[in-house]
Structure 1
């Protein structure tokens, strides 16, 4: 029987996802170095995929615990933008479908921009409801960043098309009477909170990129409002904008 070319072996391995697939046997017996290298690469891909599934199951534990208690609409909530000098703080709330698997979910800060965009599309496919809320720079100045974050989170909840019966929140507590759990580093430990983290991050980054077009000297499309050298230099040269947080150093010293 004529052996497959190395390229044909590689293409065949892209179709195989099961260690028990009978098509693997002749490949394992093939002593050509190219075939064995392709097999090793396939095994690494399989191990990586299995690790993603394991992590996803671990990150679903909070949601599974709440479901076991009878909750049916569990919303994960997270925010982005507490630290920048400019722009709003943005929160998102996400209720995932019962049957969901969005492999690769993680704290949005640990993901590349391209991966976040890819995951946003998957989250939208697997979500029962998504809500986004903001608190402006003026509100942050008036309330303080901690209270403004709560406002943004509640606004995100208010935007949901499905009424949640339980909340999983990244390191915060909301005074709204709903059953909830505060989870430290929740964006890396809960699928719902991680999904909210990614939705909020992509939304806010797009907003700040739009501000970057309006105010090109400040570099908002690169720094998202954080105090980079370019941003601080622009403040010195061109002044404080309406979207700057006047109570944040070094702006409050102006």
Structure 2
């Protein structure tokens, strides 16, 4: 016998990923974030909820001055008014973000204009919106200058005059600036070896009876300071790990 009982809940995101229609259910599961892109699952009773119903289901007071946006499959933000119905069955969106503000800040990401409800946006949020691969990066476009690489830890001010423009592109080769015997040196790997630092301190070939000793501080790996011997290696910080290398020629 066919079971016509509705599901306890229907996962809107799963239906989108599987390319199928929503099934009858007692509730419909969407993802809602407040003020950032930290989404949590929320169940709404109607497959065509009003904006205020989405806020209420997320535990947010619709009278609290919230702006609500649907994040479409294209990554675009669509403003959703509180008394506007949003058809989960047809619109291709499972993610919604609410901002408690009365002003939207504009930005562009690869020429797509987005509205953001906070005066700043994190690099992590930009990477999530851009959906870049591991070899791709997000840059703040600087007209007439060098585009600024954005890291996930950055916070970007959106209150400056004009619209901030962000673009994606290949991740630049990562470099690390270390100090060897008081001189800055650049290496291309986070982990450096004793032998590598010796060559930076004393380039070229060495006498067979040359002995090197080395101390370091401000390292990324633990311990952050100490002595490094032949065959050893440590992880350095992006900038500022210091090495002191001495050379002794034994008789």
Question: What TM-score do you get using the length of structure 1 for normalisation?
Answer: 0.28
Which of the pair has the greater relative contact order for Cα pairs under 8 Å at 6+ separation? Answer: 1
TM-score, with length taken from structure 2:
0.28
Which of the two has higher C-alpha Rg?
2
More strand by share: 2
More helix by share: 1
